Amino acid sequence: MSPLDSTIRDAATAQPTIGRPKDYLHEKSTLASWFFTIDHKRIALLYLASITGFFVIGAFAAGLIRLALVVPNGQIFSNDTYNKLFTIHGVVMVWFYMIPSIPTTLGNFLIPLMIGAKDLAFPKLNLTSWYIFMGGSLFTLFTVLVGGVDTGWTFYAPFSTTFSNTWVIPALIGVIIVGFSSILTGLNFVVTIHTMRAPGMTWFRMPIFVWTHYAVSLIFLLATPVITIALSLLVLERGFGIGVFDPALGGDPVLFEHLFWFYSHPAVYIMVLPGMGVISEIVPAFSQKKLFGYRFIAYASISLASLTFFVWGHHMFVNGQSEMASISFSVLSFAVAVPSAVKVYNWTATIYRGSLRLDTPMLYAMGYIGLFVIGGLTGLFLATLSIDEHVHDTYFVVAHFHYIMVGGTVLAFLGGLHFWWPKMTGRMYNEAWGRVGALLIFLGFNVTFFPQFLLGYLGMPRRYHQYPPEFQLLNILSSAGSTILAVGYFFPMIYLVWSLWFGKRASANPWEAKGLEWSTSSPPPTHNFLAEPVVDFEPYDYPIKARERV
Amino acid sequence: MNPSDYPLALWPPAASVSAASTDHLIISFTVLTLFLTVPIFIAITFFAFYYREGTKANRDHLNIRDSRLEMAWMIIPFVLTLFFFVWGAQMFHTHKHAPANAMEISAIGRQWMWKFQHPGGQWEINDLHVPVGQPIIVNMISQDVIHALYIPAMRIQMETLPGRYTSLWFNSDRPGVYRLFCSEYCGTDHSAMDGLLTVMEPAAYAQWLSHAGTSTSLAAAGKALFSTYGCSGCHAAGSNVRAPSLAGLYGNPVPMQAGGTVLADDSYLRDKILNPDGNLIAGYKQVMPSFKGVIAEDDLVRLVAYIKSIGQQSASIGGDAGSGGTAGSVTR
Amino acid sequence: MSAVGVSPVGVELREQFNNTAQQRHAATMGMFIWLITELLLFAGLFLVALILRITHPASVTAAAKHFKFWIGATNTAILICSSLTMSGAIELSRLGWQRGMVRFMLATASLGSLFIVLKGYEYVVDWQEHMVPFFLDRSYALAGDSASELFVNLYFATTGLHGLHLITGVSILLVLTRQAAAPGYLQRHQNRIEIYGLYWHFIDLIWIIVFPILYVLNR
């Protein structure tokens, strides 16, 4: 350990209790100090509160959907109500929870800490992004709750432009506005990572978490404008009949599918990549071992972000797209599996000969690996042309992407939240409750979604309000699982909030993890570090245990 | 046996050779994925207990990277899965090319019903009857939004688009009653846009046809409409408007004014009826009015069937009529 | 503004940065990235325009013949001139010649306004010639040719979006000019002129792509 190295750590850990500067949470406590803060850590907490709210609303809609599907004849809700419910679930979960979830909360909080910066490059822009996000999302939320929209989160033309009688335009406008918030967040991250790294923090000393957020920001920047213009054309088409997607005028509804999936497939990686970053931090910390194949994982993140722009057509194997196009998109989709597989194998190799602690974050990480693998491989099934011809738009697809999104994003988000909770709040949560919650979520999730693979292969199409009676038992099983899942979600919401007041005080580094964010106090002071850190150590600086006999 | 008689289904019936091979494909693929993942799951679980903090275990490690290992676990699984890509793509290719002797059913999707029409002109709503052992090609178009025709027992589906024909085909080898669905979300009653596919012995099918309403074939009905809508006024031989003859047109390339040719298929004919101003044909002055909003979708299907039938009847003179219609640039 | 002389040039350091070089680098990079996303936004429209051109060449040509080529060409020249004046403003801001810079910025704003006026005139002519198919109450000059209708609508969407950018640009420029005229401005915020200049050049660049795609290619 070099002298410079020790100075940072001393600065952080050897804080005397008296005379310690106020941390970012307690520096000021007026309402205005929160709503007009430009501290990335406080903005992260603003986001955390907002997306948790959206998650609860989306989950509530999901609960009602599962309730409706207990009976095959659709008697619990009317068809229109059911359609509005799954639209609320999709719109809220995808646009307002999944896409912003990890980047805007954990990413916002940790990127400056991890690279040794005082803040993001554009703190005011960061706050503006939050206001834009809240403006757009609350507007759309109001629309879908009060007026109701029945197009699904995919807004396919010409249904959304001509045939739906619901409040499509306001919902679209809200989603477009939220898109700008994503762009600004991505822009802020890219500039910060490029220009704000502490002395000595070279690219290959950055934690994988930062790498994956860099990759995600690139997707935000390159894909979001395309969905913005596609949705704007949809608005113009519905409002003025400009006809780009209208076959009656010589336009083409399939063009919308192309523009939509050109964004929305990369959006899947917006949801998944940050999760991979979180897992790449948790696994080494709880194995007390260096991350295996650091560079391969870093490269895999970037190659995922680039490959994902070339596979959108695999959502359109059955819409009359040319055979050659379908075949190319199919093989490219197989190629996307490679960087994903790299990560899974590397995490496993990291655990090998480690010194494991199965605390709550690690339980979430292991659950993540399991579910992500199942989700990824069923993704390969879907990329296989003739299988997709059968299970396209069935519950098989629904199960697949829930394994990726809930298994991937939500578990990683919860794992990361537990892992960095002491850093964010300065408090420890109750470990026993945490483990029970993690296990319940894992169990409930599998009971809910595994039967849906079978339902899909049997041929139950998605977005069905009523269904043939022979599908009922599997649907009941799935609904039963969702109640376990719901109970599981209540656990962290209760004990994490409880810990804010009654939790044990956390030390600067309760997990004995490596990384700059653990070298400052918990919670950190307003400008993160008391002195600018200088980095002269490699990432994941866990001790290498060489053979003692040598 | 009716599909709803099964109290709990775990695997769908496979009613065609192609459906059975989709099942083989997915089962083999599942076996491969188990082979790739079960070791990881076992390893993670085992490591989690064996290397728990405080247990006695060998924790020596020097390697924190190993490029050869990385390459191995990148390339080997990829190559193994590629085998399934090829298998799937081959089947997909077959699904895209119906055999020449396929019987043609035309389908119209609209919110929220299917209308199927048999070659003899008989039509039915939501349900479809077909003979066993005979390739069936369903040509589809939508009157409003995007739908998709999905027959799980055949393991096949295809989107039904407005303004453009799409098709799927199957060859059932097992008589029975199966379900068909709309699988692309299309609005309020999306989930009610389903029906039953009855696969029957050919004799039973013939009998069913004879009891099922109209006996006018699609093409014959189209011929009547050809006069009703005034098409014959220009396109019939001996008319005094110089319009191309439609005999032998179907299935042949048509030269364009802008250069190049376009194949005269179903979608092309429909387009020219609705939008004659687009894609002008070489050698003719464009005088035809648009029939958009005049001819309903099911009448269009009949008209196209008729033009198709005269294309096939005069296959021998098809070349003549085709070139006469295109190279004959002498104004009468 | 009191003296004709040269004022000192510099940037006020914000607290999240360690030095002004880092701050300038971040600001420039941020603007470039934003402009790339803007370019992608327009790219969606260009893509649709090219697809229409391929699928309905005759209708697109018929529609494009109604567009006022000379107004478009004049506007292109105007925007190129405005880019020149903006470059002049940036160059003078680096030298600290505040008064000259303000004049160049006002010139840029007037050229931008001239563009908007000409574009507005073109819209009026379009209206008079019945080339506004999205107004359902007004008859359409090429009625029956629905694909041309689509292209004309796309023309309005694209030029409208560009016009929106230009109106925003001129408004920001006027506010910025007012601020930049205050004494000591260049000492604290010189890089804002440069950053804004990037945006202005970008608006110009977009028009240089729009003009051939809508007006020239299809004639």
Question: Which pLDDT belongs to residue A10?
Answer: 39
Question: Which pLDDT belongs to residue A274?
Answer: 94
- B61/A289 touch (CB, cutoff 8 Å), yes or no: yes
Q: Which residues of C touch A532 (CB under 8 A)?
A: 18
Question: Which pLDDT belongs to residue B215?
Answer: 57
Compute the nearest-CA separation of A464 from chain C (Å): 33
- C145/B279 touch (CB, cutoff 8 Å), yes or no: no
Question: Which pLDDT belongs to residue B270?
Answer: 84
Cα four-point dihedral sign A273, A275, A278, A280: negative
> Residues of A481-498 as b/e, b for ≥16 C-beta within 10 angstroms?
bbebbbebbebbeebbee
Interface test with A, best of C29, C37, C164 (most A CBs within 10 A): C37
Q: Is C144 on the interface with B (CB under 8 A)?
A: yes
pLDDT tier at B331 (50, 70, 90 boundaries)?
Answer: very low
Q: Between C219 and B72, whose confidence is greater? A: B72
Decide: helix, strand or coil at residue A356: strand
Q: Is C145 on the interface with B (CB under 8 A)?
A: yes
Q: Is C149 on the interface with A (CB under 8 A)?
A: yes
Q: How far apart are CA B322 and CA B327, in angstroms?
A: 8
Q: Is A221 on the interface with C (CB under 8 A)?
A: yes
Give C160-173 pLDDT, tens digit per residue.
Answer: 999 999 999 999 99
pLDDT tier at C56 (50, 70, 90 boundaries)?
Answer: confident
Give C74-114 pLDDT, tens digit per residue.
Answer: 999 999 999 999 999 999 999 989 899 999 999 999 999 99
Q: How far apart are CA C129 and CA C124, in angstroms?
A: 9
- A221/C36 touch (CB, cutoff 8 Å), yes or no: yes
Residue B204: pLDDT over 80: yes
Question: Which pLDDT belongs to residue B312?
Answer: 63
Question: Which pLDDT belongs to residue C51?
Answer: 85
> Which of A194, A243, A244 minimises the CB distance to C29?
A194
> Which of A290, A461, A470 minimises the CB distance to B181?
A461
Question: Which pLDDT belongs to residue A11?
Answer: 42
pLDDT tier at C61 (50, 70, 90 boundaries)?
Answer: confident
With a pLDDT cut of 90, the percent of chain B lying above it is: 38
- Chain B to chain C, count of Cβ pairs less than 8 Å apart? 18
Q: Is C2 on the interface with A (CB under 8 A)?
A: no
- A467/B191 touch (CB, cutoff 8 Å), yes or no: yes
Low-confidence ranges of chain A (pLDDT < 70): 1-21, 546-550
Q: Between A251 and B12, whose confidence is greater? A: B12
Residue of C nearest to B293 (CA): C144
Question: Which pLDDT belongs to residue B320?
Answer: 36
> Which of B43, B156, B184 minimises the CB distance to A389?
B156
What's the whole-number average pLDDT of chain C? 89
B-proximal residues of A, 436-465, CB under 8 Å = 454, 457-459, 461-465
In contact, A166 and A84? CB cutoff 8 Å: yes
Residue B213: pLDDT over 80: no
Q: Which residues of C touch B278 (CB under 8 A)?
A: 56, 58-59, 147
Residue with structure tokens 């188990």? B34
> Which of B258, B275, B280 minimises the CB distance to C146?
B275
pLDDT average, residue stretch B7-13: 80
Question: Which pLDDT belongs to residue A483?
Answer: 96
Residue C5: pLDDT over 70: no
Question: Which pLDDT belongs to residue A59?
Answer: 95
Q: What is the CA radius of gyration of chain B?
A: 27
Q: Is B258 on the interface with C (CB under 8 A)?
A: yes
Decide: helix, strand or coil at residue A167: coil
pTM of the model: 0.86
pLDDT average, residue stretch C142-149: 78
- B275/C58 touch (CB, cutoff 8 Å), yes or no: no
- C58/B290 touch (CB, cutoff 8 Å), yes or no: no
3-state secondary structure chain B: CCHHHCCCCCCCCCCEHHHHHHHHHHHHHHHHHHHHHHHHHHHHHHHHHHCECCCCCCCCCCCCCCHHHHHHHHHHHHHHHHHHHHHHHHHHHHHHCCCCCCEEEEEEEECCEEEEECCCCCEEECCEEEECCCCEEEEEEECCCCEEEEEHHHCEEEEECECCCEEEEECECCCEEEEEEECCCCCCCHHHCCEEEEEECHHHHHHHHHHCCCCCCHHHHHHHHHHHCCCHHHHCCCCCCCCCCCCCCCCCEEEECCCCEEECCHHHHHHHHHCCCCCCECCCCCCCCCCCCCCCHHHHHHHHHHHHHHHHHCHHHHHHHHHHHHHCCCCC
Q: What is the DSSP string of chain C?
A: ---SSPPP--BPPPTT-SSHHHHHHHHHHHHHHHHHHHHHHHHHHHHHHHHHHHH-HHHHHHHHTTS-HHHHHHHHHHHHHHHHHHHHHHHHHHHT-HHHHHHHHHHHHHHHHHHHHHHHHHHHHHHHTT--TT-TTS--TTTT-HHHHHHHHHHHHHHHHHHHHHHHHHHHHHHHHHHHTSTTHHHHHHHHHHHHHHHHHHHHHHHHHHHIIIIITT-
Give B100-159 pLDDT, tens digit per residue.
Answer: 999 999 999 988 889 999 988 888 888 999 999 999 999 999 988 999 999 999 999 999
- A244/C15 touch (CB, cutoff 8 Å), yes or no: no
Compute the nearest-CA separation of B14 from chain A (Å): 10
- B61/A353 touch (CB, cutoff 8 Å), yes or no: yes
Q: Is A244 on the interface with C (CB under 8 A)?
A: yes
Residue B238: pLDDT over 70: no
> Which of B277, B279, B280 minimises the CB distance to C144?
B277
Q: Is A72 on the interface with B (CB under 8 A)?
A: no
Q: Is A198 on the interface with C (CB under 8 A)?
A: no
- Chain A to chain B, count of Cβ pairs less than 8 Å apart? 278
- A242/C26 touch (CB, cutoff 8 Å), yes or no: no
- A292/B186 touch (CB, cutoff 8 Å), yes or no: no
